[in-house]
Chain A
Amino acid sequence: MYFHSFMIKYAEIGIKGKNRYLFEDALVRQIRRALKLVEGSFQVVKEDGRIYVEAGSDYDYDETVEALQHVFGIASICPMVQIDDLGFADLQAQIIRYMDEMYPDKKITFKVQARRARKNYPLDSNEINAQIGEAVLNAFPDIRVDVHHPDVLLCIEIRQRINIYSEVIPGPGGMPVGTNGKAMLLLSGGIDSPVAGYMIAKRGVVIDAVYFHAPPYTSERAKQKVVDLARLVSRYAGPINLHVVNFTDIQMAIYEHCPHDELTIIMRRYMMKIAQQLAEENGAAALITGESIGQVASQTMKSLAATNEVCTMPVFRPLIGFDKQEIVEIAKRIDTYETSILPYEDCCTIFVAKHPVTKPNLNAIKRSENKLTGVIEELYQKALETEETIWVEAEERKL
């Protein structure tokens, strides 16, 4: 079967009332962006509350479907055959050909579901269902009807032209990126943070990311790995501005002046502060982290509270209730896992104490931080000033 068109179905957008067109337009934009990466030419059209993708003559079906599966807001993708209305006899013949080619093994059950959007069509939906069903049964003796749990739900939509489809490929769900503001993701190079970014982007949020680089303790390869991760996330989230902050001096100052069991917490508080400042400067309204309760010492509830205390912006922690294994499964599905597990040190693992506090006392932490007064301000400023921004985008594959 050679498909040239896809019908894009969306779920949540349909209930957005008067703002619906904004969401639909954003979805069309995102679909176009995704298809730019695919070989071939495509037309994306919005019509009768539906979005259709039409492919030019030479295109790759698998690649196209895969690209569409990266567009948030798509609930499902239906590869579709579109025919001209040349009368009911022709429709019957076309349907029989369609069923024959799509399902070589005819030991299946099916059900016809017609929709007559064009009301002047001579038959109504029920009549179409009955007569097409009968024609299919007569053509293939092995096929059975099952109206409750059919193997194949054969959909026929009578519009200006007639759409025939029966395959439904799940999309990623969510809402089109660009419909829900921007947030700043703390991207570390581990397994969790790319997944967290993916999950928030799924709600239509544009992502900026910040990475804390600590040369010479972390290598150029570790940075490259973060760029690669951002690129993988950008296949879903769209282009990402990755802010690379040199964190070495701040880390060293904390290491020299503060108790070692509080290092991680204090360090993370500074990371949040810097991330928040970058967020403000770049029009992001929230922070995103990959934290999950109790996963490590710095992610106990008390530690999270101590870290959170420096933030005035909302901090989204989409993985908060997830087990590691659940996070790993998503990472594998979105293709970030293999990159995340490459063995380069990140800045969190370098200065880690043997026994970090798991129930930090906020007052004690603040007392420790006071010891940094007079040193930290300049370093903090320098870190922000020397920040490097990398534009990361899933690129068109050019030779």
Chain B
Amino acid sequence: MEAYLDNSATTRAFPAVCDVVTKVMSRDYGNPSALHRKGMEAEAYVRDARETVAASLRVSEKEIYFTSGGTESNNMALIGAAMANRRSGNHIITTSIEHASVTNTVKFLEELGFTVTYVPVDSWGIVDLDALEQAVTRDTILVSVMYVNNEIGSVQPVEAIAQRIRRKKPDILFHVDAIQAYGKYVIRPRRQGIDMLSASGHKIHGPKGVGFLYVRDRVKIRPVIFGGGQQQGLRSGTENVPGAAGMAEAVRVIYKDHELRIDYLYHLKERFTEGILALEGTKINGPLLREGAPHIVSVSFAGVRSEVLLHALEEQGIYVSAGSACSSHHPAPSATLKGIGVGKEYLDSTLRFSFGAFTKMEEIEYTLETLQRLLPVLRRFRRA
């Protein structure tokens, strides 16, 4: 049996997504900027995709920019906003548990002369609102907070954050990395006080290599990619038509029957956490069941190295991540797990299990059974 429980890393595309991607690549392959009909047909896909994404957030389609994915969206938002606002100030605030595409981008901005404050989180992975508000100074131009943490599934109180920072400085820009949240939550940037929002296609059963950035009307950011002036000059380059069309298809599928899908994911999560806690020497990191995202469970296994367990599970056809797959190139201890105060002995013993639309209850049961079988064996052979 196979159990793919690494849906926070990436997901299998919906069949409808594959169909539209194939159609665009093989039949409607025109350049959307071309003057002829072939171009107009391709443009219609981009237009439709933009409308779909905009409708899913209830924003204007003029506020949606397609990118090559979540990482680019975060880069574009942070660098673009920092560069456009450097005259108003040079201070940026983010949290201690962001994804590398945010932390490494703000590090780059530090090199350019910006100062960055990293606000801590509590043991549930929730940002400290008082510390956040205190961090805001006259020079603060930008706050960037992730909606759902990719390692432990903690969900930030986005609206409260927007209110608190604006109370102190009304014109602050607020960026939200929603790469793990989009498709899982009903997001309303205008109501929630979000100025910029990043999302990715392949986390919601769409194609890889495509994502988008929402930039609220009247928020000025500088482009980071220059060229032929596509997408209102803010993100040049021929639009990724199959990607955008495929992502839009995924958005339509995922936000249709959305509540049912989320209930289903929580149902899986509930069974999984219950099974995990029944095993000896296990501990779940991060928020309580319903307070966390529906699709992510972070588990620490006492006395077992995560990499060993990961490969042992792999042999049984079960695919999971150690901490976060995106950071597997850097086997340094996870900033998120450290941030929420996970003990040293557990930092290297933590796996992330994440579910998606294709995950079946049998996969959950199979994984629990396999863990029950493997754990005692692995614990016997551990290093002294």
Contacts and interface: CB of A to CB of B under 8 A. Distances in A.
Contacts of A377: none
B377 interface: no
A61 B188 CA distance: 12
A399 interface: yes
Nearest to B61: A397
Interface in A384-399: 397-399
Shortest Cβ-Cβ A-B pairs, 8 listed: A397-B55, A399-B252, A399-B255, A220-B40, A399-B55, A60-B191, A62-B190, A399-B56
B45 to A, nearest CB: 14
Nearest to A63: B58
A39 B55 CA distance: 10
A324 interface: no
A398 B55 contact: yes
Contact of A60 (B40, B52, B55, B188): B188
A171 B191 CA distance: 22
A39 B37 CA distance: 35
A219 interface: yes
A224 B39 CA distance: 13
Interface in B22-70: 35, 37, 40, 51-52, 54-56, 58, 62
Interface residues of B, number: 17
Nearest to A397: B55
B35 A60 contact: no
Nearest to A221: B40
B228 to A, nearest CB: 15
B251 interface: yes
Contacts of B256: 399
Interface residues of A, number: 13
Contacts of A397: 51, 54-55, 58
A219 B255 contact: no
A60 B190 contact: yes
Contacts of A399: 52, 55-56, 251-252, 255-256
Contacts of B58: 39, 60, 63, 397
Given A60-B191, A62-B190, A62-B191, 18 more contacts: A39-B58, A60-B58, A60-B188, A60-B190, A61-B191, A63-B190, A220-B37, A220-B40, A221-B40, A224-B40, A397-B55, A397-B58, A398-B55, A399-B52, A399-B55, A399-B56, A399-B252, A399-B255
A61 B191 CA distance: 8
A35 to B, nearest CB: 14
Contact of B35 (A61, A63, A221, A338): A221
Interface in A187-204: none
Nearest to B232: A338
B256 to A, nearest CB: 6
Interface string A208-252: 000000000001110010000000000000000000000000000
